[in-house]
Amino acid sequence: MTSWVGRTAAEIAAAVREKRATPREVVAEYLARIERLDARTGAFRTVRAEAALAEADEVASRAGLADLPLAGVPVAVKDNLSVRGEANRNGSAATSSAPAADDHVTVARLRAAGAVVVGLTNVPELCVFGTTEGVHGTARNPWDLSRTAGGSSGGSAAAVAAGLVPVALGNDGMGSLRIPAANCGLVTLKPGHGVVPAGIGNGDWFGMSENGPLATTVEDLRLVLSVLADAEFGRRVDPAPLTVAVSLRSPLLGVRVGKPYTSAVREAAGLLAGAGHRLRRAEPPYPASLGVTALRHWTAGTAVDAEGLDPARLARRTRVHAAVGRRFVGAVRTGEARERLRRRLEPFFAEHDVLLMPALARRSPEAGPWHERGWLRNLLLNTNYSPMTPTWNLTGWPAMSVPFGTLPSGTPRAVQLVARPGSEAVLLEVAGQLEELRPWRRTAPLDQIPRSGGGV
């Protein structure tokens, strides 16, 4: 009997379209794996076993099955996006438990393409932080169960890295796709503003949040992104060499980038130079005020999302984050600081097609009850381990995390690629070259990792 666990979304969809597999047997196999392993990863808040099998049967009955790009592919959805018939809890005890009446547009597009939603994944409360834990569970890195999967799309990343689904849907307001992808050895792309419908929370964190897929291959990433965007991201014909800027320092003053991550950038730069691209060491002209700008937008976004929720039912770190942000909402809403940042960085990207930089500054923190710890402790933790991503939410430009080798512990490390607006296809092309030149192991050997966690 053919096993579909571990296959790519593209392989599964092709098999279903060609009647070599049925959606039900694919989905049932993944549901069995979730039942067996998710207690260790904490990826899912809720699993839709019965509903998913019914959805699989509905997909199989469609007249146009042969034309569905994601026919029968099991997917997981981040628990801040509406799935018809399921509560949208956003990681909180303060949100409504009433089932959603409609799918979010991105979920609707996945389902229309033939995908089957098997469950909703864990997030930190209101998707604020770069670690995933709270009243609904703790998402752990399948490569090292003692470590957080990251956040805020931590449950979605854990689900894909553990082979519980081939692809998952998440979103990114300050790095929430790229951070967990970098931790868990996945490839992801935060699209530029307006490429994929947003509609996240109360205003998309002032337009900074974008929906996107988490995948184990660039082919799957391209496939799912095309469905979400309702657009093609084709490859360049006879592509000319690109000018790639190589940056090693943190955008935020005073934050040091660890050697494993700078080494990954240097090694990736060598591979891209060998592939014919023009590599140039160059640091973007980040303003000294960038950290303050990022903090104001980060906290203000939470302040808006927390409106109307009972503060007594929010975790202390969330309450403080929102309280800090209330004083900045008016100034942030104007968009002036973000426009100044874009103007400052545009000349750099006029000279360079792609920016290659670290995805993280250090490895993911230990998994634990960070939601029970103080706000300042969480703030410092997040700032020191993931300072590399927020700039590209502030600008609204596309950015992606690409697996690249391993840390000394054996857990994945990653690099980040950034480009000017409209360059998603270029980023996918460069990521595909890195995947070809330095292939990565697609899923964690979860069955071989001790229950107490992995090495350090």
Would the pLDDT of 452 be above 70? no
What is the average per-residue pLDDT within 134-153? 98
Q: What pLDDT shows up at residue 321?
A: 98
For residue 289, the tally of other CB atoms under 10 A from its CB is 13
Per-residue confidence band for 133, with pLDDT thresholds at 50, 70 and 90: very high
- List pLDDT tens digits, range 24-83: 999 999 999 999 999 999 999 999 999 999 999 999 999 999 999 999 999 999 999 999
What's residue 450's pLDDT?
62
Positive or negative, the CA dihedral 323, 209, 217, 37 is: positive
Q: What is the pLDDT of residues 165-211, one digit of tens each?
A: 999 999 999 999 999 999 999 999 999 999 999 999 999 999 999 99
pLDDT confidence of residue 456:
27
Cβ atoms 128, 347 nearer than 8 A: no
The structure tokens listed for 306 are: 């927390």
105: left (phi over 0), alpha (psi -120 to 50) or beta: alpha
Please write the tens of the pLDDT for every residue from 200-227. 999 999 999 999 999 999 999 999 999 9
Contacts of 255 by beta carbon, 8 Å cutoff, 6+ apart: 361, 383, 384, 387
pTM: 0.97
User: In CATH, what is the architecture of 9-448?
Assistant: Alpha-Beta Complex (3.90)
290-319 pLDDT, tens digit per residue, is: 999 999 999 999 999 999 999 999 999 999
Give the Cα separation of 339 and 352 in Å (integer). Answer: 20
- Within 13 Å, how many C-alpha atoms sit on residue 163's CB side? 19
CA 48 to each of CA 31, 176, 306: distance values in angstroms, whole numbers, following the listed order: 9, 24, 27
Q: Tokens representing 28?
A: 């049932």
Non-local (6+) Cβ contacts of 141 within 8 A are 147, 148, 149, 150, 158, 161, 183, 184, 364, 367, 411, 444
Reply yes or no on whether the pLDDT at 453 is more than 90.
no
**Is residue 17's pLDDT more than 50?**
yes
> What is the tens place of the pLDDT at every residue in 325-356?
999 999 999 999 999 999 999 999 999 999 99
Dist. CA 352–CA 56, nearest whole Å:
45
pLDDT tens readout for residues 428-448: 999 999 999 999 999 999 877
| Nearest alpha-carbon partner for 14 in 53, 71, 62, 76 | 71
Output the CA torsion 222→170→142→22 (10° steps): -60
pLDDT at 393 over 90: yes
For the segment 257-267, the average pLDDT, to the nearest whole number, is 98
pLDDT surpassing 90 at residue 234: no
Predicted local distance difference test score (pLDDT) of residue 455: 32
326 by Cβ neighbours in 10 Å (0-12 / 13-18 / 19+) ranks as middle
The pLDDT of 105-124, averaged and rounded, is 98
Mean pLDDT of the chain: 96
Catalytic residues: 78, 152, 176
CA separation for the pair 4, 215 (Å, rounded):
16
The helices-and-strands tally (H runs, E runs) of the chain is: 16, 13
The SS3 assignment for 365 reads coil
CA pair distance 288, 291, nearest whole angstrom: 7
pLDDT band at 449 (very low <50, low <70, confident <90, very high): low
Q: Which two tokens stand for residue 176?
A: 């929430």
